[in-house]
Amino acid sequence: MTLQTPLAEVAVQQEGPPVRTRSRSRRRIEPIYYLFLVPALLLFTGFVVVPAVIGIFYSFTDYVGYGSWSLLGLRNYTALFSDPDILGSYGFTLGFAVVTVVIAQVIALALAVALTKRIRFAAPLRTIFVIPMVLSGIVVAYVFNFLFSNSLPAFASAVGFAPLEQSILGNPDLAWLSIVTVSAWQTIPGALLVYTAGLTSIPGDLYEASSLDGASAWTQFRSITLPLIAGFVLINTVLGVKGYLGVYDVIVGLTGGGPGTSTRSVAMAIFGGFTGGDYAYQMANATIFFIVTVIISVAQLLVTRGRTIRL
Amino acid sequence: MSDPAAPRGAARRRRLGGTNWPLTILLLLATLTVLAPLYVTLSMAFKTSEQAVDGEAFALPAPFNPQSFAVAWELTRFPVSFGISLAVAAITVVLTLFLSSLAAYAIVRNWDRRLFRWSLFYLLAALFLPFPVVALPQIQLTAMTGLDNPIGVGILHAMFQLSFSVLLYTAYLRSIPIELEESARIDGATTWQIFRRIILPLLGPMNATVGIFAFLASWNDFMLPSLITADPALQTLPVVQNIFQSQFGTNYNVAFASYLMAMAPTIIVYLIAQRWVISGITQGAVKH
């Protein structure tokens, strides 16, 4: 989905203060600048902000998606907190996001470091590693669905590994692993590219000086690489988590939320509201989800603030 | 993460003759995680139905059977779905480039004005807005306004690209010296002429980056078209793939032929345009 493009991760990096401000406040503004800006603002407001506001408004009603409605106050919200299905979907989504972001970032960073070492075929290797990023999530999930339900069990019985002889997609305890795998597979490339950009911006003489002092590769990684790319780790993690929280395509293609509701994400629960008749209820869920997303993102930014080095 | 073959860094590596072969081999093996699923897709597509169900995904197709593509072509009405995907992506890319470059230019050149400064933050706030929050009302609004079709999907894709694109453009525009424009202004150029003749050409690489990201996001999306488009006959390529999950559950060879036809365009475009894709991220990530 569009908001989740792993590449969005790079972006926030530039939000910082260094801005070309000129003391032109007294000058009369040219009307054409409004003409440049207003279409974007109007369309954005109409297609994104207005729907968000409408949705939040309906979360205080008993609206079912059509017909009349009346105000309920906070009743949808209080009901949410005692709904085991909803709590289950939050539990799954948060756990999935944490596990996936850790796995994906560690692998992406390891690959990025490896690709900047003295290796052969660096360019073609990087080209191959980035391919998953350009593929459709749902189609990728369908391919992996086949691998998980046919190839993996066939392989497991061939080598006599009993736990995997049944498809993990049908196992409520293991199905989430398939979603972690495919999500990581898809999002590692974007993070890898961001890390590569970060690593190439580190001056090489830092490493030369430290190896003259006898620093090991691991020491160099810990004391030079990691502090200098901390900003990139932060951005990748914040927007990675945000993306994983909205996970949908991959689940649709792999498990459809099952078995049972063991892999049902918050996004799937919310979309179910349109067909399930509990529109207003799921809009309350969506509003809570928005708040949770913002809190997690801001918390990540605050916790890591001060430890990052601006490049 | 650490580099086992070069514990003493550059000096040791130089003595070993430059290339770190163990790491190279490790990375080559790691590419299998990407290439193996692609290989399975390719080989399954060329199998017969009998061979495809035997579970040996990694076996080569024998006999080699290209007929699945014809069946998949029919079932997914490939030319139609492909055309619709292309139209949606084209609307997205054109709208994104047009709206966000102009808006970003206005914002950067009027940064001292509150309205423009806040406009950027207003647009950026959407980076934290999860799609499910707006999805249900959007379904209703598009249905009411007659936009529950590929055109509406294209417009919505462009809206979701706006934050990211404006962000990239503003960062890039700030690195363009204003002196260029001032001399043109002295020569009597209007703001529109300056944008058209000076800024737009300078934005070239960023246009490519923003355009590619908008294209990929739009072309690959499943969620929005599946929710917004009311008429199943007007669905995009990723969405029509779901017919193989239900109706044609065991025709794996046909399903994989179809998956391959859905994946191939982006892989081809990527292999051609990878220079911009990769440099685009670098430009986005590292400040000028």
| Cβ distance of B192 and A32 shorter than 8 Å | yes
pLDDT of residue A14: 43
Q: Which of A63, A139, A165, A218 to mutate to test the interface with B (most CBs of B within 10 A)?
A: A139
Residue A8's closest CA among B68, B110, B124, B93?
Answer: B124
Say yes or no: A161 contacts chain B, CB-CB below 8 A: no
pLDDT of residue B70: 93
Alpha-carbon span A242 to A3, nearest angstrom: 9
pLDDT of residue A162: 80
Quick: pLDDT tens for B27-81: 999 999 999 999 999 999 998 888 887 767 788 888 888 889 999 999 999 999 9
Q: Which range has the worst mean pLDDT, A93-102, B7-16, B91-100?
A: B7-16
Alpha-carbon span A44 to A72, nearest angstrom: 29
- The confidence band for B149, taking pLDDT boundaries of 50, 70 and 90, is very high
Say what angle helices B32-45 and A175-200 make with each other, to 10 degrees.
120
Per-chain mean pLDDT for chain B: 86
| Cβ distance of B37 and A140 shorter than 8 Å | yes
pLDDT of residue A222: 87
| Cβ distance of B2 and A197 shorter than 8 Å | no
Average pLDDT over residues B182-206: 88
pLDDT of residue B166: 94
Q: Which residues of B touch A113 (CB under 8 A)?
A: 1, 3
pLDDT of residue B29: 95
Q: Which of B21, B27, B78 to mutate to test the interface with A (most CBs of A within 10 A)?
A: B27
Q: Which residues of A touch B9 (CB under 8 A)?
A: 207-208, 210-211, 215, 217, 220
Residue in chain A nearest B11 by alpha carbon: A211
Radius of gyration of chain B (CA): 24
Say yes or no: B169 contacts chain A, CB-CB below 8 A: no
pLDDT of residue A306: 55
From the list A55, A118, A196, the residue facing B137 with the nearest CB is: A55
Say yes or no: B114 contacts chain A, CB-CB below 8 A: no
Q: In the predicted model, is pLDDT for residue B281 greater than 80?
A: no
Alpha-carbon span A252 to A269, nearest angstrom: 12
Query: Does the pTM exceed 0.90?
Result: no
Quick: pLDDT tens for B230-251: 999 999 999 999 888 876 566 8
DSSP track, chain A: -GGG-TTHHHHGGGGSS-----S-TTSPPPHHHHHHHHHHHHHHIIIIIHHHHHHHHHTTB---SSS---B-TTHHHHHHTT-HHHHHHHHHHHHHHHHHHHHHHHHHHHHHHHHTSS-SSHHHHHHHHHGGGGS-HHHHHHHHHHIIIIIHHHHHHHHT-GGGSS-GGG-TTTHHHHHHHHHHHHHHHHHHHHHHHHHHTS-HHHHHHHHHTT--HHHHIIIIIHHHTHHHHHHHHHHHHHHHHT--HHHHHHTTT-STTTT--HHHHHHHHHHHS-HHHHHHHHHHHHHHHHHHHHHHHHHHTTS----
pLDDT of residue B7: 46
pLDDT of residue B132: 84
Pick the most confident of A194-208, B87-101, B248-262.
B87-101
Alpha-carbon span A275 to A278, nearest angstrom: 8
The per-residue pLDDT string of chain A (311 residues; one tens digit each, 9 = 90 and over) reads 333 334 434 444 444 444 444 444 556 788 889 999 999 999 999 999 999 999 999 999 998 888 888 898 899 999 999 999 899 999 999 999 999 999 999 999 999 999 988 899 988 999 999 999 999 999 999 999 999 988 888 888 888 888 888 888 989 899 999 999 999 999 999 999 889 888 888 888 888 888 888 888 888 888 888 888 888 888 889 889 989 999 999 999 999 888 988 999 999 998 887 777 788 999 999 999 999 999 998 888 887 765 544 43
Average pLDDT over residues B270-281: 78
Q: Which domains does chain A have, with CATH numbers?
A: 83-304 (1.10.3720.10)
